[in-house]
Amino acid sequence: MFIPSILLRQLYTHGSLTQTEDGLQFMLKNRLKDAVLKQVDSISINGEEISPEAITLQVGPEQIMSMADINENGEVPFELKQVITVYLNKSLPVSPEKHTLELVFRASPFGKLKFSVEDNVSAPSLKQGHIPRDPHDDYSPEIIQKRQRFFEDFSGANIHHVGQYSIDPKTLRGNIEHFIGVAQVPIGMAGPVTIDGEHAKGDFMIPMATTEGTLVASYNRGMKLLNMSGGIKSTVVDDAMQRAPVFVFSDARGARDFVAWVNANIDKIREEAEATSSIAKLTYIDSFLSTKFAFLRFNYRTGDAAGQNMVGRATFAACGWILDHYEGIENFYLESNFATDKKASQINIMRTRGKRVIAEATIKREHLLSVMRVDPKQIDYHGRVAGVGSFLSGVNNTGLHSPNGITAMFIATGQDVANVSESSAGIMYSELTDEGDLYISLTIPSLIVATYGGGTGIGTQRECLELLGCYGRDKVYKFAEIVGAVALAGEISLASAISSSDWVSSHEQYGRNR
């Protein structure tokens, strides 16, 4: 299996070359995919091969093996994100001077791998003032307790609620570093809400995690109203996740010619990207030229995962192949800030990031009058007035507060909450029907959600997804349709409250924690 050199060098943890009592040590971390270490052929420093008898490797929390043991056994698990510490019986002085390390080894499914890196020798870190950690088992009860004591000693406060949890810390590898406990956020239920989706069909109870009074009650009221008129139609109309590298050339023509070459070699670039994952599928690459820079916006489908890390790894591999096969590139950055990760942007509104979801409903006039005490004409007129306010303020959302419900659902179901920055974009639209009823729709152009991977499998988060019937594979479109429907329920509830002047009185009744 071909692995670009730029990707292969990521196995080495830069800054880990450290002086020890017996010589030197450095760390390798698997940033590729699950593998099995078959054989260590050689390790060299500055061109000098280290004797096999002087090499030992720590491959687990309490498992240290000699190079000979590994080569004889030939079946050492090296899982994704696992760390191996290499110990060398060789001395080098602590110095800012760079040394060249070269490693040759064999691992399944990659075959023979060879790479070299440069690093300088550092002194052993002093433990005082540093957060306690164990690179081989950072989630054991012992290391967690050490960190809790460290935090208490440092702050002078006590850990009580934070340190009480029901989840197994060992399941959190890849979710949190320096773990000491949990933050508990109250969860309320809203619903049921009736949804007519292509994937979400029927009635759903909605878990919402928040500390904002009136939020759950407001969404519940919106759901009640929409149910009376037949529920909400919710549809996923697009799906894309991006990573956007930039390539720098000597002039604009070089950048232009490079983009033409990329377009001509898209099939091979797709092959290299998709080799890193059985899930990520590269659908297309947008190109944007400015000065002597070529910005490439790689667009993927990522299955049931949100996919930012997945597409980062895939794009890195593709760019590694590009760098190895195209001359004239003067500089390269994997991310140019053009994917707008964790930031709201106009390009995401236009081109989609995550799932593009449209939720819509037609509400009977009599239902608005009886439940919300507001006429459809009042809401429609208020929406047009608010549209002027949206234009003047330059917001990315012409609705009222869709991020409120999205955030509450994100916290409850283990989504990456920072993705609310992109998911906050919304296009609210309404019109009066010939019968005097109100048609409303909410388009969420960049809803980033997952039902598998990330934080979705942790304790309460998994339970909340299971309550929705949305945990696991082949459930992400269903979940996206539900989130869109819930957001629409919140929009009509708050729009009705503002239009009928119930907004302040409701907060006075439900939302003040005196």
Is 212 designated active site? yes
Which member of 274, 335, 437, 507 is catalytic?
507
- Other Cβ atoms less than 10 A from the Cβ of 365: the count is 17
Rounded to a whole number, what is the largest CA-CA distance in the chain? 87
Angle between helix 266-274 and helix 308-325 axes, rounded to 10 deg = 130
What are the DSSP E strand ranges found in 325-418? 331-333, 354-363
DSSP 394: T
Structure tokens at 449: 């959600």
Report the alpha-carbon distance of residue 380 to residue 137 in Å, rounded.
58
Report the alpha-carbon distance of residue 126 to residue 142 in Å, rounded.
20
Structure tokens at 441: 């729709």
Q: Which residues pair with 144 in a beta bridge?
A: none
DSSP 51: P
Q: Which residues pair with 247 in a beta bridge?
A: 294, 332
Report the alpha-carbon distance of residue 29 to residue 41 in Å, rounded.
18
Which member of 271, 274, 286, 416 is catalytic?
416
Exposed/middle/buried for 278, CB within 10 Å: 0-12, 13-18, 19+?
exposed
Task: Name 334's Cβ contacts closer than 8 Å, sequence gap at least 6.
Answer: 243, 245, 312, 315, 316, 319
Report the alpha-carbon distance of residue 325 to residue 124 in Å, rounded.
40
Report the alpha-carbon distance of residue 408 to residue 327 in Å, rounded.
49
Structure tokens at 241: 């996740």
Is 507 designated active site? yes
For residue 4, is the peptide bond before it cis, meaning its omega torsion is within 30 degrees of 0?
no
Which member of 102, 196, 212, 380 is catalytic?
212
Question: What residue has token string 């990760």?
Answer: 341
Structure tokens at 275: 């080799």
Q: Which amino acid is at 250?
A: S
Pairing of strands 187-197, 232-243: parallel
Report the alpha-carbon distance of residue 455 to residue 458 in Å, rounded.
6
Nearest of 183, 59, 203, 83 to residue 133 by alpha carbon: 83
Is 466 designated active site? no
DSSP state letters, 241-297: EEE--EEE-SSHHHHHHHHHHHHHTHHHHHHHHHTT-SS-EEEEEEEEEETTEEEEE
Q: Which amino acid is at 34?
A: D
DSSP state letters, 68-123: HHHHHH--EEE-TT-EEEEEES------SSEEEEEEEEEEETTEEEEEEEEEE-BP
Is the four-CA dihedral 403, 404, 409, 411 of positive or negative sign? positive
Catalytic positions: 212, 416, 507
